[in-house]
């Protein structure tokens, strides 16, 4: 009855790669993909350039995975970044390594990664059909296929690689959770991660469009003095709050959705100590001694930030610079080194790079990615309750888990023969 060795739900990074790996081992696979094209999300990764992995050792990958790194240990060890890089280079996609060990195709085209994956899967016999899987077919506690609105597809194994709920326009709308639940699996509540942050108050909106480069962003949980995140980089003010690479990275460390409260602190001049910045401000103040305070900051701060900084300083905007006291000046310097905002929450999943939460890993065998509840049912990629920081680590999770599942599926085949 089983037509294929594996039917794979989802033709994203994990699904395509698993199909290619099973095909390379002589197995037959069918991908059921709801979109007209495969790899729709891959095309928008890394701003269209696809940060395909991180050129680092496997233990470094695990350090960049805040949720369930132990579960991923054997998958990442079994198919580390070096293996991902070898794979794409062997397919003819030349790679380069950039800042922070981020690996991209030399062409800077995510399309090259997506096309190489689909081509490799097809070259090894994978059939791709369009359809939205709505049900896992099971018999005696064993997965035997999937059902779409139009058809049923039977296979010896079923692999769910449907992704999470982030950027649902790419096809990942959380169907994998429904399918997993149907098989009796628990779902850890999905939430957005690597997502812009909404700030309290209206200051961010007043600074909308302002991009700050080379600032240090630190995030503090309420009543804590040690930051949960602190890094230098670039951020952007928007009508709701803040976005940009630094903010997305920070968001992976925050849990406002769990009722926790955070403050963001921006060090606007991280290259200068408080003392050095004070000397710098003194120089500016000396140059503009007879100007109003609000007109004396143009060399120090971007225009959109000045009215907000002046307001926060409590030094009147029209105060003559020569009359600003030493205490006022020093407090202003401290403000520039610790410009705080209260975090109101995350932006929605539609704007999140990845999903935190998903299929509970306690019910999955970490070596094979097979369900502990239903035999011959496998999971790979973002559908699992695993997520990583930015840097190519999320695609690495997709490839490592897909490889482990593909290997286990092929192993089952060998055992049977």
Which stretches of the chain bind ligand FAD, using CB under 6 A? 9-15, 32-35, 40-42, 44-46, 50-51, 132-133, 161-163, 166-167, 170-172, 175, 353-354, 381-382, 392-395, 398
User: 167 or 346: whose CB is closer to ligand FAD?
Assistant: 167
For the bound state, the minimum distance from the C-beta of residue 8 to ligand FAD, rounded and expressed in Å, comes to 9
Query: In angstroms, what is the minimal distance from the CB of 397 to ligand FAD?
Result: 7
In the complex, minimum distance from the CB of residue 267 to ligand FAD, in angstroms, rounded to a whole number: 27
Give the Cα separation of 252 and 353 in Å (integer): 10
Residue number with CB closer to ligand FAD (130 or 206): 130
Closer to ligand FAD by Cβ: residue 235 or 398: 398
Least CB distance from residue 63 to ligand FAD, whole Å?
Answer: 15
**Are residues 384 and 190 in contact, defined by beta-carbon separation less than 8 angstroms?**
no
Smallest distance, Å, CB 330 to ligand FAD? 43
User: Which residues are CB-neighbours of 80 under 8 A, at least 6 positions away?
Assistant: 57, 58, 61, 400
| Closer residue to ligand FAD in complex, CB, 191/353 | 353
Q: Which is nearer to ligand FAD, 103 or 315 (CB)?
A: 103
Residue 129 tokens read as: 């059909």
In the complex, minimum distance from the CB of residue 176 to ligand FAD, in angstroms, rounded to a whole number: 6
Question: Are 143 and 375 spatial neighbours (Cβ–Cβ below 8 Å)?
Answer: yes
DSSP three-state, residue 2? coil
As a whole number of angstroms, the distance between CA 221 and CA 78 comes to 36
Q: Which is nearer to ligand FAD, 5 or 382 (CB)?
A: 382
Nearest distance in Å: CB 275, ligand FAD: 40
Shortest distance, position 131 Cβ to ligand FAD, whole Å: 6
- DSSP E strands: which ranges in 164-280? 187-193, 197-199, 211-221, 229-237, 241-243, 262-267
Measured CA to CA in angstroms, residue 364 lies from 5, 21, 218, 340 at distances of 20, 20, 36, 42
The answer to whether 210 and 304 have CB atoms below 8 angstroms apart is yes
What is the closest distance, in whole angstroms, from the C-beta atom of residue 298 to ligand FAD in the complex? Answer: 36
Nearer to ligand FAD, 10 or 196 (CB): 10
Tokens of 331: 């407090």
Task: Give the side-chain half-sphere CA count within 13 A for 50.
Answer: 27
- Give whichever of 153 and 220 is closer to ligand FAD, judged by the CB atom: 153
By DSSP bridging, strand 187-193 and strand 262-267 are unpaired
Q: Which of 110, 122, 117, 61 is nearest to 88 (CA)?
A: 117
Report the SS3 class of residue 383: helix
What is the Cα–Cα distance from 97 to 82, expressed in whole angstroms?
12
Helix spans in 207-338 (H): 245-251, 274-287, 306-313, 326-337
Nearer to ligand FAD, 285 or 393 (CB): 393
């Amino acid at each position: 009855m089983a037509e294929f060795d594996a039917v794979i739900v989802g033709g994203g990074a994990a699904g395509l790669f698993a199909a290619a790996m099973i095909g390379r081992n002589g197995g037959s696979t069918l991908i059921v993909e709801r979109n007209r094209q495969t790899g729709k999300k891959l095309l928008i990764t890394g701003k269209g350039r696809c940060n395909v992995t991180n050129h680092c050792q496997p233990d470094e990958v695990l350090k960049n995975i805040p949720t369930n790194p132990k579960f991923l240990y054997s998958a990442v060890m079994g198919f580390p970044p070096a293996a991902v890089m070898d794979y794409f280079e062997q397919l003819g996609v030349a790679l380069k390594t950039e800042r922070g060990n981020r690996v991209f195709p030399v062409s800077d085209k995510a399309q090259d990664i997506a096309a190489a994956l689909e081509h490799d899967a097809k070259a090894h016999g994978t059939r791709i059909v369009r359809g939205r899987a709505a049900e896992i077919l099971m018999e005696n506690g064993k997965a035997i296929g999937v059902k779409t609105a139009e058809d049923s597809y039977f296979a010896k194994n079923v692999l769910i690689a449907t992704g999470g709920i982030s950027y649902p326009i790419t096809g990942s709308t959380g169907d994998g959770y429904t399918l997993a639940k149907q098989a009796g699996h628990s779902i850890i509540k999905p939430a957005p991660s690597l997502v812009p942050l909404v700030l309290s108050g209206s200051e961010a909106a007043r600074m909308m469009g302002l991009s700050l480069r080379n600032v240090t962003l630190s995030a503090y949980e309420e009543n804590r003095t040690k930051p949960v995140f602190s890094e230098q980089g670039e951020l952007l003010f928007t009508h709701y709050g803040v976005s940009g690479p630094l903010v997305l990275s920070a968001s992976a460390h925050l849990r406002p959705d769990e009722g926790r409260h955070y403050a963001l602190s921006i060090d606007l001049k991280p290259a200068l100590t408080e003392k050095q910045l004070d000397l710098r401000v003194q120089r500016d103040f000396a140059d503009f001694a007879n100007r109003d305070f609000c007109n004396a900051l143009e060399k120090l701060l971007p225009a959109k930030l000045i009215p907000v900084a002046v307001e926060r300083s409590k030094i009147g905007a029209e105060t003559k610079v020569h009359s600003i006291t030493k205490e006022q000046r020093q407090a202003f310097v401290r403000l520039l080194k610790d410009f705080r905002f209260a975090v109101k929450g995350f932006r929605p999943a539609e704007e999140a790079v990845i999903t935190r939460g998903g299929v509970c890993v306690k019910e999955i065998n970490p070596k094979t990615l097979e369900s502990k509840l239903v035999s011959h049912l496998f999971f790979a990629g973002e559908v699992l309750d695993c997520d990583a920081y930015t840097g190519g680590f999320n695609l690495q999770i997709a490839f490592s888990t897909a490889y482990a599942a593909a290997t286990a599926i092929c192993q089952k085949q060998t055992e049977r023969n």
